[in-house]
């Protein structure tokens, strides 16, 4: 497959990425003609760029793909994880022409259509090593040619960053809704041709929820109601659900004090599942603290160990914060999973109440399906099994 951008276009579409430490990476624009600020992170997935960019958890971040070529499979309507692209920016070494029977658009055309600034021609391996050594960095991506490198560095340094910021309110739904009542968004994805009749009702807090979480729940025979991030716990209970899910989402969990209070109010009153940000919110609700990781976990290949069985699962992850195990109340909470790369907490369960959470993404999209059984576990918990 040939490169998407010719040498002449590369020269005409010059762009650069200015980091807060003064480092500048040069390349050319392959996305929307709009400058952007964000926190630069790297993702180790070889595929799945569409799911990554449409994951609301990436709001506020400029995503660097460590694998050198993106765009080979194009973009299609079935692999979206929300209705739009949420990442502040996208960086790859090279964008290729699509060659896939499912493709409805090229990656470059989709980036322009969704207003996503993007750069190619960047040594992404060098950028990844820099982030690994220094940690995630604030950055300014200039694709318009209207800002000098010096000014771009200054803007990156002045940007507020993600710490202490409530991004969930920026990405959440505006009002409650029933997920996919006609089944088209669920049954059209993967191999599902028909869906079971809903036997249980689950409410999902939308802090930036991925559609594949909702698909996974619906496929297991649940009616799914999605509610905005600031919905009070009592309003959720009035919907008479059989269980409640606290979803994934972007930025700093400690900023979501209203969500922590909602989780605390629901403990012991209804079965609870937390995923990614939801896992961190559960930790805070149970009395623990969260802390920032040096460069986060972003990718489809993170090994996680189940401490009860000794089994190891390869998981999809996207988070910059983690739960501090030293601050967990041991009498109430048990650590169930650990990351084998750095030992961070990957799972929790309440010792007495029907409540558990995982830091990773059991719904994958993109990534392996090793942990999809957790949705069955949650369904069984709701059913009282």
How confident is the model over 79-88, as pLDDT tens digits?
999 999 999 9
Residue 100: pLDDT band by 50, 70, 90 thresholds?
Answer: very high
| Residue 69 is among the residues annotated as catalytic for this protein | no
pLDDT tens-digit profile of 206-219?
A: 999 999 999 999 99
Answer yes or no: is pLDDT of 220 > 60: yes
In a domain, 374, yes or no: yes
pLDDT tens-digit profile of 360-378?
A: 999 999 999 999 999 999 9
Domain that holds residue 115: 7-158
Answer yes or no: is pLDDT of 22 > 80: yes
In a domain, 163, yes or no: no
Instruction: Looking at the structure, tell me whether residues 41 and 68 fall in a common domain.
Output: yes
Instruction: Looking at the structure, tell me whether residues 172 and 151 fall in a common domain.
Output: no
Q: What is the number of structural domains in the chain?
A: 2
In a domain, 1, yes or no: no
Q: Residue 13 has what pLDDT? A: 87
- State the alpha helices, DSSP H only, in 269-349: 277-285
Answer yes or no: is pLDDT of 192 > 60: no
CATH number at residue 321: 3.40.50.880
In a domain, 188, yes or no: yes
Instruction: Looking at the structure, tell me whether residues 136 and 182 fall in a common domain.
Output: no
Cα distance between residue 322 and residue 291, in whole Å? 6
| Residue 361 is among the residues annotated as catalytic for this protein | yes
pLDDT tens-digit profile of 114-136?
A: 999 999 999 999 999 999 999 99
- pTM across the whole model: 0.95
Residue 385: pLDDT band by 50, 70, 90 thresholds?
Answer: confident
CATH number at residue 68: 3.50.30.20
Instruction: Looking at the structure, tell me whether residues 174 and 318 fall in a common domain.
Output: yes
| 22 vs 197, higher pLDDT | 22
Which of 140, 158, 176 represents a domain boundary (last residue)?
158
Answer yes or no: is pLDDT of 3 > 80: no
Instruction: Looking at the structure, tell me whether residues 235 and 340 fall in a common domain.
Output: yes
Q: Nearest 5°: phi and psi at 269?
A: -105, -20
Instruction: Looking at the structure, tell me whether residues 108 and 212 fall in a common domain.
Output: no
In a domain, 311, yes or no: yes
In a domain, 72, yes or no: yes
Closest CA to 91 of 56, 133, 126, 135: 126
| Residue 173 is among the residues annotated as catalytic for this protein | no
Answer yes or no: is pLDDT of 189 > 70: no
Which of 158, 186, 213 represents a domain boundary (last residue)?
158
Instruction: Looking at the structure, tell me whether residues 181 and 324 fall in a common domain.
Output: yes
Q: Nearest 5°: phi and psi at 366?
A: -95, 165
Cα distance between residue 249 and residue 35, in whole Å? 24
Instruction: Looking at the structure, tell me whether residues 205 and 71 fall in a common domain.
Output: no
Cα distance between residue 288 and residue 269, in whole Å? 20
- State the alpha helices, DSSP H only, in the chain: 7-12, 49-53, 107-113, 124-134, 149-158, 168-171, 184-187, 211-219, 233-237, 257-266, 277-285, 373-382
Q: Worst-scoring range by mean pLDDT, 103-112, 186-195, 232-241, 262-271?
A: 186-195
| From 20, 51, 93, 276, active-site residue | 276
Q: Return left, alpha or beta for 100; rule: phi > 0 is left, psi -120 to 50 is alpha, else beta.
A: beta
| From 298, 302, 319, 361, active-site residue | 361
| From 20, 313, 346, 363, active-site residue | 363
Instruction: Looking at the structure, tell me whether residues 144 and 183 fall in a common domain.
Output: no
Instruction: Looking at the structure, tell me whether residues 175 and 139 fall in a common domain.
Output: no
Instruction: Looking at the structure, tell me whether residues 173 and 48 fall in a common domain.
Output: no
14 near 5, Cβ under 8 Å?
Answer: no
In a domain, 118, yes or no: yes
* Burial profile 1-26: b = 16 or more Cβ within 10 angstroms, e = fewer: eebbbeeeebeebebbbbbbeeeebe
Which of 126, 158, 190 represents a domain boundary (last residue)?
158
Cα distance between residue 141 and residue 156, in whole Å? 9
Instruction: Looking at the structure, tell me whether residues 327 and 187 fall in a common domain.
Output: yes
């Amino acid at each position: 497959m040939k490169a998407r951008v010719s040498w002449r276009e590369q020269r005409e579409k010059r762009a650069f990425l200015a980091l807060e430490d003064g480092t500048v990476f040069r390349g050319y624009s392959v996305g929307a003609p709009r400058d952007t600020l964000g926190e630069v992170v790297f993702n180790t997935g070889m595929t799945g760029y569409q799911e990554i960019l449409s994951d609301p958890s990436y709001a506020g971040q400029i995503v660097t793909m460590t694998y050198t070529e993106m765009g080979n499979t194009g973009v299609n309507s079935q692999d979206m994880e929300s209705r739009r692209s949420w990442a502040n920016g996208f960086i790859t070494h090279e964008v290729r022409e699509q060659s896939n029977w499912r493709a409805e658009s090229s990656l470059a055309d989709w980036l322009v259509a969704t207003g996503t600034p993007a750069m190619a021609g960047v040594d992404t391996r060098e950028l990844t090593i820099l982030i690994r050594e220094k940690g995630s960095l604030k950055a300014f991506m200039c694709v318009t040619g209207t800002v000098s490198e010096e000014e771009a560095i200054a803007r990156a340094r002045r940007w507020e960053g993600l710490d202490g910021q409530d991004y969930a309110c920026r990405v959440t739904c505006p009002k409650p809704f029933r997920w996919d009542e006609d089944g088209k968004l669920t049954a059209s994805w993967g191999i599902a041709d028909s869906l079971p009749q809903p036997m249980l009702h689950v409410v999902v807090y939308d802090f930036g929820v991925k559609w594949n979480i909702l698909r996974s729940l619906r496929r297991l025979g649940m009616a799914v109601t999605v509610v905005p991030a600031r919905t009070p716990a009592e309003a959720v209970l009035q919907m008479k659900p059989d269980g409640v899910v606290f979803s994934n989402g972007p930025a700093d969990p400690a900023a979501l004090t209203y969500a922590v209070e909602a989780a605390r109010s629901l403990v012991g009153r209804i079965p609870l599942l937390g995923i990614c940000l939801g896992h961190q919110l559960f930790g805070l609700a149970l009395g623990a603290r969260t802390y920032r990781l040096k460069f986060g976990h972003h990718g489809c290949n993170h090994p996680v160990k189940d401490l009860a069985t000794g089994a190891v699962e390869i998981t999809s992850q996207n988070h910059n914060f983690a739960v501090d195990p030293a601050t967990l109340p041991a009498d109430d909470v048990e650590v169930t999973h650990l990351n084998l790369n750095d030992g961070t907490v990957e799972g929790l369960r309440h010792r007495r109440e029907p409540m558990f959470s995982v830091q990773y993404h059991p719904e994958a999209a993109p990534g392996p399906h090793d942990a999809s059984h957790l949705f069955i576990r949650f369904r069984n918990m709701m059913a009282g099994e």
